[in-house]
Amino acid sequence: MIEGKLRLILGITGASGVIYGVRLLEVLGREIETHLVISDMGAKILELELGLTLDDLLEHATSVYPNSDLTAPISSGSFQVEGMIIAPCSMKTVAMVANGIAENLIVRAADVTLKEERKLILIPRETPLGRIHLENLLKVVEAGGTILPASPAFYHAPKTIDDLVDFVVGKVLDLFGIEHNLYRRWDLPEQG
Q: CA gyration radius for the chain? A: 16
The pTM of the whole model exceeds 0.75: yes
Mean pLDDT rounded to a whole number for the chain? 95
Q: Is 14 annotated as a binding residue?
A: yes
9 contacts 37 by C-beta, under 8 angstroms = yes
Q: Cβ-count burial of 134 within 10 angstroms (0-12 exposed, 13-18 middle, 19+ buried)?
A: exposed
The CATH number of residue 48's host domain is 3.40.50.1950
Any domain includes 180? no
Higher pLDDT, 112 or 184: 112
Number of domains in the chain: 1
Q: Is residue 189 part of a domain?
A: no
Q: Is it the case that residue 116 has pLDDT exceeding 90?
A: yes
Report the C-alpha gap between 37 and 43 in whole angstroms. 10
CA angle 91, 48, 40 (to 5 degrees): 55
41 is annotated as contributing to ligand binding: no
> What is the mean predicted confidence (pLDDT) over 122-144?
97
- Tell whether 91 is in a known binding site: yes
Residue 84 is labelled as binding a ligand: no
Is 90 annotated in some ligand binding site? yes
Q: Is there a binding annotation on residue 63?
A: no
Identify the sign of the CA torsion 42, 89, 85, 174.
positive
With contact defined as beta carbons under 8 Å apart, do 40 and 72 qualify?
Answer: no
What confidence score (pLDDT) does residue 192 get?
A: 55
Domain assignment present for 154: yes
Domain with 99, as residue range(s), is 7-163+170-175
Q: Does residue 30 have a known ligand-binding role?
A: no
Quick one: angle between helices 18-31 and 40-50, nearest 10?
100
Instruction: Confirm whether 126 is domain-assigned.
Output: yes
Is 11 annotated to bind ligand?
no
| 39 assigned binding-site residue | yes
- Look at residue 16 and tell me if it is in a domain: yes
pLDDT (0 to 100) of residue 186: 87
